[in-house]
Amino acid sequence: MSKVLVTGSNGFIGKNLVQKLRELNYSVLEFSGDILEEESYRKLHKEDISHCFHLAAKSFVPDSWNSPDPFIETNVYGTEKVLEFCRLKSVSLTFISSYLYGSPKYLPINEQHPLQTPNPYALSKHMAEELCKFYAEYYKLKICIIRPFNIYGPAQDKRFLIPELIEKFQGTEKEVKVKDLEPKRDYVYISDLIEALILTLNVKEEFLILNVGSGYSLSVAEIIEKIKTISGSKKSVVSSNEKRVNEIPDTVADIKLAAEKLGWKPKVSFEDGVKEILNSFKK
């Protein structure tokens, strides 16, 4: 029986993907070792692998400013190593990219929107996408790139906005302190993203790029109000009105192409997603 290979299987997305694939009775092989090291691939060449989900990456944007080298090494050179493995094994690939559109020129944002790389992390993902495009065009490797917008769900790194806010509302401090209330983002729940990823196994095109999001945006203020209401918290919220440099005002994903090519649409409302996270906190 052929296997599905998952790199980055220990990460937030990877754990959810592996769990769902196994629930659907796929034979899953989790990549172990360093994706930059040749030794990590030697034993994989003996395996019967039909598809690779490439998730392994460094992904926290603030860290990329402080130390860009590991982001370029892992996200660019690491992706090239995975692509070369897939080429040698004739294995199709789903590459999990990122939001690469910068401050949008129009909303909703479709896949043809001009790309911007305003930080080292985005730059590394853009470069990795170019490698994917090259391998698809010149080596005829079948590749689908997924550009997820803002992902959220249980067990996400608490440095991200939604788990950070939920933890603050659940914590012992008397008030919730935040910075800017205005920025708006398109949030997609983890199970919706996982469904889209698995559906890429059925993609017919040789090379395809798809946005995955909810199709609407929420401001920080709106998110706070929803979390506060759902959690039943009485805490007051204090904003310093501190603006981030080069802040993006709003993002909304145009997800029509994902609906057309995958038959996919998001199923989890933001309110239900928050309830799931709150339930996980209680557990």
Q: Give me the domains of the chain, ranges plus CATH numbers.
A: 3-153+188-213+252-267 (3.40.50.720)
Identify the residue with better confidence: 25 or 170.
Answer: 25
- Write the CA distances from 70 to 76, 135, 215, integer angstroms: 10, 23, 32
pLDDT at 282 over 80: no
pLDDT digits (tens, 9 = 90+) for 179-236: 999 999 999 999 999 999 999 999 999 999 999 999 999 999 999 999 999 999 999 9
Report the percent of the chain where pLDDT is more than 90.
91
- Average pLDDT on 275-281 reads 91
Q: Please compute the mean of the pLDDT values over residues 117-127 and round it to a whole number.
A: 95
pLDDT at residue 1, as a whole number: 67
Residue 2: pLDDT over 80:
yes
* pLDDT for position 115: 97
Q: What is the pLDDT of residue 62?
A: 85
Mean confidence (pLDDT) of the chain:
96
pLDDT at 244 over 90: no
Q: What percent of the chain has pLDDT over 70?
A: 99
Average pLDDT for residues 133-161, to the nearest whole number?
96
Q: What is the pLDDT of residues 32-74, one digit of tens each?
A: 999 999 999 999 999 999 999 999 999 888 899 999 999 999 9
